[in-house]
Chain A
């Protein structure tokens, strides 16, 4: 049983506010991922939860008890650092035993826990080695092992995989997911890699400039981003954004004109807060754009010209410029014979279009 609750947590370093009114609740056994651009305060938030930084304001509760002012050593959490932070003068075994020895656990228990963790992480034959003789992946396993043996209330991870090469990163990501399934422990994980976020998380917290932009399940964030920041941050390739002017508002949604010619696009969103003539932003994911060669008398859809085609093998990324000069990226499955210079027509399905008002807040979608 371990739950975590943050209520209006703020953190200031001198005059600069790094965290502002962060509220969040984490259920027992949940895997929560913090994502956001570099410098947005992810690490600071994690360290504040850990007790390595003191919150300037707000409450932090673990299992219902307020832990503000409780020393990091006494919160019963474990943290895995990006730099691994293994004690250089201790062997792998001593590294893992350190916290348990401090807690005065009996020797037999310590050995049993280390053995079990070593088995899970396949580091049994490294136990006698010093950290400097290990590879990056092995070090990361040891760092995770050091956290596991402590049987903490909550696991905290600060970009644990970002020092590993791409292949190892994928492998470790899968192992982490398995580990979570097996331990059923509460885990909080910081990353700026959205694939990690999408695949690992039960719940994603998107942060920007010290504020929570949105909290939700990965697909919720993908399908119903609360604002243009989240919409742009989640999903790869990135969502397209182009300016749109409201032309008509009705019960089925709104119509907005994009581009200079005033091509009309239909949105299945609640337009009651809008007025005719408002300028808004259209967002559409590259995989939602349908693209056809122009010609044969087609008049539906946006006329555009391909300015770049990226052949990825499994898919094709097509960059097309409309006559108004907007560039839309569309992603198509498989190998598509569309080449630079080709004239095409793009169609933007109403159900796939997101509409954001001038502040970037998403308009509620009609189901």
Chain B
């Protein structure tokens, strides 16, 4: 009785089965409310994200004079060749990479050390105050705080040298010498960012699996040993995410440069983003966007690398 009915229905079903395009449109129609919810966000992302990026990449293939006009002359890879041939760009790129490497390592290791210290029982009483102090620079406007640092590093009445000399230490040349300007930026940005990474580590430390630590303690492992072989491996996802954030932000370092050193002295802090920005000011749009594109590709590649690494190693 039932099977003939079934086959009749199946034939019916076949006839009703929509084609792929129809199915697609049906899906969109069914979920139209979700599409409407996404619309404003998608529109902003497109208009102020993807479109400018595409435009900027496009401009990197055009000639400077006509770059921003409607009838741009496309010159292929000329801008990229010019940029790569430019010794100052190569210098700038290696500076940026050096700065990024140094900053990522310093920030993450200091942050990890601080987080380990703050997570222990010893500093528990003042933990709120310590966290607050470390985090304050993260939220306050950089333009203001970097200007403060610029003046604090001032040779004549800056607090830094006054403090050094009152302690009987040699003076710090600050932004007047090439090496010290570079170091000054590393320190100022460390001050600005490290609180963020510390708090991320700290939160992840508090989520650690306590039973593993207890097991290791039963096995007679000392604190240093446990930190090294129990805690840090578990922090891997946090290390990955912090490295990612740090990589992206230090590769793009800009505000500190424009406020404190303006790329100087003698190009010692002329990082790629700042160099590209000065090219903009000189109306060399093609070159500027070529530099931006190169930096973008580097950020993208490194990000992908870190991401893949952390995915591969993440068994949780």
Among B9-17, B35-43, B201-209, the stretch in contact with A: B9-17
Contact between A7 and B17, CB atoms less than 8 A apart: no
A: number of interface residues (CB 8 Å): 12
Are A7 and B9 touching (Cβ within 8 A)?
yes
A-B contact count (CB 8 A): 22
Residues in chain B near residue A5, CB distance under 8 A: 9
Residue of B nearest to A21 (CB): B10
Q: Are A8 and B10 in contact (CB under 8 A)?
A: yes
Complex-state Cα separation, A25 to B16, whole angstroms: 20
* Interface SS of B by simple majority: helix
Which residues in A have their C-beta under 8 angstroms from that of B12?
59
Expressed in whole angstroms, the Cα–Cα distance for A208 and B90 within the complex equals 62
- Bitwise interface map of A from 198 to 216 toward B, beta carbon under 8 Å scored 1, else 0: 0000000000000000000
Residues of chain A contacted by B13 (CB below 8 angstroms): 7-8, 57-59
In chain A between 53 and 75, which residues have their CB closer than 8 angstroms to a CB of chain B? Answer: 54, 57-59, 66, 69, 71
Nearest CB on B from A59, distance (A): 5
Q: Are B9 and A59 within 8 A (Cβ)? A: yes
B-side contacts of A66, CB under 8 Å = 16
Cross-chain contact A57 with B30 (CB below 8 angstroms): no
- The answer to the question of A316 belonging to the interface, with a C-beta cut-off of 8 Å to chain B, is no
CA distance A59 to B13 in the complex (A): 6
Contact call B6/A23, Cβ cutoff below 8 A: yes
Min CB gap B14→A, angstroms = 9
- B-contacting residues, A29-56, CB 8 Å: 54
A225–B16 alpha-carbon span in the complex (Å): 35
Q: Which of B13, B16, B30 has the most CB of A within 10 A?
A: B13
The answer to whether B30 touches A69 (Cβ under 8 A) is yes
Q: Which residue from chain A places its CB closest to the CB of B12 in the assembled complex?
A: A59
Chain A residues with CB below 8 A from B10, complex form: 7-8
Please give the residue numbers on chain B whose beta carbons come within 8 Å of chain A beta carbons, in ascending order.
Answer: 2, 6, 9-10, 12-13, 16-17, 26-27, 30
Binding site for B on A (CB under 8 A): 5, 7-8, 23, 25, 54, 57-59, 66, 69, 71
7 A-B pairs closest in CB distance: A59-B13, A7-B9, A7-B13, A8-B10, A7-B10, A69-B26, A58-B13
Could you list 17 further interchain pairs (A-B, Cβ under 8 angstroms) beyond the known A7-B13, A8-B13, A58-B13?
A5-B9, A7-B6, A7-B9, A7-B10, A23-B6, A54-B27, A54-B30, A57-B13, A57-B17, A59-B9, A59-B12, A59-B13, A59-B16, A66-B16, A69-B26, A69-B30, A71-B30
